[in-house]
Amino acid sequence: MAAAPLPQQLGGLSELLAQMCTAAADALHQATAAMLERRERLAVRVIAGAPRLRAQRAGIEELASEALLFHQPVAGDLRAVVAAIRSAGDLDRMGNLALLVAKAVQRRHPGHTLPAEVRDDFTDMGQVAVQLALKAADVVRSRNVLRAVELDSDDDAMDALHRHMFGVLMDPAWPHGVTAAVDVTLLARYYERFADHAVAVARETVYAVTGRDPDAIPIQRHPGSSTRHSAPSDSGRAR
């Protein structure tokens, strides 16, 4: 069977990456809800859905390999194929981080995964991380360079939350002991890394489109531009 034309394959890669971004956002959204609301069944659902992202990564890599084999792309097209392979790796890691959050919920059930003092912080971290992943989905689908570059700045909110978390944990008045502090430290790191990988996906898109280092492209925010997106709906959640 003849391979699809290269433009069609490149469009397919963009769409598959966008779907994978949305799936990663959905997984973390559910894992965060499970953690904050002590919903073990929801955590189990996230764990059961983990193979979905791995399968999506495999599909992207297969399509990218076909594009390389049958069309031998050069210049911008080659950058797009390589960026898709790299981005799929980042997105797979995002899914693994959501999985780790869900496993922490399962491990601590029926108790609380988080002390009350940090629940609001993790609510914010979950919201920022999910919104970054959804924005990355828009970026890989639209290939909008300026919107992609914005993610670096948007990630500052996660960095600030991560720093604040360490301030809470280092407070001499912390009443929950070493075990809880270690748990919170690891969970905060999962969210911070999730956001970093979303930024990496956007940066790969910038390089694929322009051939330039994303740091060399100025940010031009448009009115109303932000990471504020609605959380994934129930209908879009992995089953």
| Domain annotation for the chain: domains and CATH numbers | 6-215 (1.20.58.220)
pLDDT band of residue 218 (cuts 50, 70, 90) is low
With contact defined as beta carbons under 8 Å apart, do 221 and 100 qualify? no
How many angstroms separate the CA atoms of 196 and 7, rounded?
A: 29
Q: Which two tokens stand for residue 120?
A: 């609001």
With contact defined as beta carbons under 8 Å apart, do 36 and 104 qualify? no
The pTM (predicted TM-score) of the whole model is 0.88
Contacts of 235 (CB under 8 A, 6+ apart): none
For residue 214, what pLDDT is reported?
A: 75
Average pLDDT, the chain: 89
Q: What is the amino acid identity at position 217?
A: I
With contact defined as beta carbons under 8 Å apart, do 42 and 33 qualify? yes
pLDDT band of residue 236 (cuts 50, 70, 90) is very low
Contacts of 177 (CB under 8 A, 6+ apart): none
For residue 224, what pLDDT is reported?
A: 47
With contact defined as beta carbons under 8 Å apart, do 208 and 83 qualify? yes
Helix, strand, or coil (residue 196)? helix
pLDDT band of residue 12 (cuts 50, 70, 90) is very high
By residue count, the chain amounts to 239
How many angstroms separate the CA atoms of 20 and 222, rounded?
A: 26
Q: What is the amino acid identity at position 85?
A: I
With contact defined as beta carbons under 8 Å apart, do 35 and 101 qualify? yes
Reported as a single tens digit per residue, the pLDDT across 69-109 is 999 989 999 999 999 999 999 999 999 999 999 999 999 99
